Structure 1
């Protein structure tokens, strides 16, 4: 039997509306839109008026995206482009049931443009361990782009929950993430700080200590490779120590990845951190399918209307019973009991009105939310 998954197509047509900025500005400008290097992602080249440059944004839709009226999903904003693996990793973790299904939003530079990483991620000059100076200085403008342009823009374009957004940074972007937590803890609900380059901004440690009581119940995950250079391990331990000791205001988890170098643990840190930062509301149920008689199935066929007017259609194809929500690809559903169906490998179920004759309503359950659709 062939099973289809929800795809990104229905989301790409959502209307864009202006974001909210500290000062009135036109909405973030899309320079181009097309396929991305990360699988299952789309790439937007956007122009930031706060920074005065373009950025490449790759968006990966979760395995089971929101489809119900008013339903939203978390987002993970990943710096350094997620090394082109963050999107597929987040998609797999959400689809496997390890974490809440989330949009992975990877932020990088256009492929035909320069990388301004050091400028954007540091708020001022910092002395490298070898004695040379990292100039930095663009951190404030890049933070304004992130919080005042990109985040509102994404929340207008996609069904995102603004109260469930995680910022993920590694190395230089790890110290940037620590700075955002220190200065703007309200910017995100969770912070994944991996191998923070504390050498570039030692003053962040005192500011992190001061912010603990103002964190408002947020979460932070601090990580590093246990086989990294000593100064990197020292930076991670200092950030962890600065954030510890106030679990009523900030929930902290720390992990040193045994035997791993500066970059080698990157593929592991998402699977360790994101289930903590974005836990599922409930585990995915994995029932066994049963076979219903054709006359039992036919009573479900027809069109149903959700509260927002969107149509849910129940039909059939060569693979069995077919569910289609307007704006999303059709997918097969399996029966687990009379009047109860589920989507294979996803946190999505359908329950029909019991009884004889055509079902008068159905209830859709997706990622812990539910909505009733009435037969038209």
Structure 2
């Protein structure tokens, strides 16, 4: 086996979990690789919204692999402009955020593009006097909360108490409405350039969010060079949420010299670390050399609490870790009995002693599990 990058080796574990029973109201029409690297694409039929949606799922580079371990999810509207998934993957891999699944929601190519109807709960008057159709917001919200979110939490090892909703522009005002009406649905909200012109009534409801669902985190942003009615929307949403800092954690940022869409890539790098901080920084230990006589005591098969085997062996590149059902990865010694996988937050500690260790402890992203020698 050639030298492996630990990030790539563990990334393949992300989709190793078998799909369980589907939420009955959500029908998967097709599934396959997405145009974006490392993503899976699903076309699903929603009973609640009576239409199809394109879902792309980008798993973190170091996904949950230990028994009972879960990861946060970031739900991104408007399809994430095809950059949300790769950005989330990079931020997680760089240690800037807790490794998270990025789930983008858009529309299948060639199908009806019902964005305006889905994101607004009622018709709204644009600043130019024309009417935005609206009216489908309740059905789209039901699709997100009653169909898609439960389906994803069944299919992937997600933590239902650690989920972020991200919307920009029209999807920003939808996200503001979600926070106002169903604040308990997500632990964090990223509201970017909310189109407040479409639904100014949300402001009064936002003022009471902290009392109804304390503990939320909210990031509100806009481009400083946007049209005044757009910057006004961001400012008013931020002001409505700022009255109770003890129960709602708010961060606001106006991106200097940026227009309506130009700051979109920047807002993720600013907001995601605030909304989903890592429990601890990624360690970057220096390897030490061990002799074959020192390492062979670790070789063997160990069992996790869920019955999966962890095998420690070797190849031409050194010691090798294999978790049943997942790709192998080389491990490197940082001390006697302590090993790590390069570039990720994953390490292995063996029971000390002169003979074969009775067990090892496997650490991944702050979680740990003990595996006993078979």
Who is 1:14 aligned against?
Answer: 18
Q: List aligned pairs for 1:1-376, cutoff 5 A.
A: 1-4=3-6, 5=8, 6-8=10-12, 11-19=15-23, 26-376=24-374
**1:332 CA displacement:** 1.0
**1:62 CA displacement:** 0.4
Contact 2:57–2:103 (CA<8 Å) still a contact in 1?
Answer: yes
Deviation string, structure 1 residues 17-69 (Cα, Å, up to 9, x no partner): 244xxxxxx24211000011222100011110001111111000101000000
Contact 2:241–2:250 (CA<8 Å) still a contact in 1?
Answer: yes
Contact 1:31–1:44 (CA<8 Å) still a contact in 2?
Answer: yes
Distance (whole Å) between structure 2 residues aligned to residue 294 and residue 235 of structure 1? 65
Listed as ranges, the gaps of 5+ residues in structure 2 are: none
- Range with bigger deviation, 202-211 or 163-172: 202-211
Distance 1:104 1:304, change over 3 A: same
Distance (whole Å) between structure 1 residues aligned to residue 235 and residue 17 of structure 2? 45
- Range with bigger deviation, 8-17 or 209-218: 8-17
Report the 3-state secondary structure (helix = DSSP H, G, I; strand = E; otherwise coil) of the residue aligned with 1:76: strand
Distance (whole Å) between structure 2 residues aligned to residue 309 and residue 250 of structure 1? 42
Contact 2:25–2:47 (CA<8 Å) still a contact in 1?
Answer: no
Contact 1:27–1:153 (CA<8 Å) still a contact in 2?
Answer: no
Distance (whole Å) between structure 2 residues aligned to residue 64 and residue 7 of structure 1? 6
**1:112 CA displacement:** 2.6
Distance 1:210 1:13, change over 3 A: closer
Report the 3-state secondary structure (helix = DSSP H, G, I; strand = E; otherwise coil) of the residue aligned with 2:62: coil
Distance 1:269 1:10, change over 3 A: closer
Aligned-pair RMSD on alpha carbons?
1.1
Deviation string, structure 1 residues 102-135 (Cα, Å, up to 9, x no partner): 0000001112312110010000000111100001
Distance (whole Å) between structure 1 residues aligned to residue 286 and residue 171 of structure 2? 45
**1:278 CA displacement:** 0.7
Distance (whole Å) between structure 1 residues aligned to residue 22 and residue 63 of structure 2? 23
Contact 2:312–2:320 (CA<8 Å) still a contact in 1?
Answer: yes
TM-score, normalised to structure 2, is 0.97
Distance (whole Å) between structure 1 residues aligned to residue 105 and residue 356 of structure 2? 49
Contact 2:14–2:59 (CA<8 Å) still a contact in 1?
Answer: no
Contact 1:340–1:349 (CA<8 Å) still a contact in 2?
Answer: yes
**Segments of 4+ moved more than 4 angstroms:** none
Contact 1:2–1:319 (CA<8 Å) still a contact in 2?
Answer: no
Contact 2:222–2:255 (CA<8 Å) still a contact in 1?
Answer: yes
Report the 3-state secondary structure (helix = DSSP H, G, I; strand = E; otherwise coil) of the residue aligned with 1:164: strand
**1:15 CA displacement:** 2.8
Listed as ranges, the gaps of 5+ residues in structure 1 are: 20-25
Distance (whole Å) between structure 2 residues aligned to residue 370 and residue 12 of structure 1? 19
Distance (whole Å) between structure 2 residues aligned to residue 289 and residue 8 of structure 1? 25
Distance (whole Å) between structure 2 residues aligned to residue 2 and residue 105 of structure 1? 27
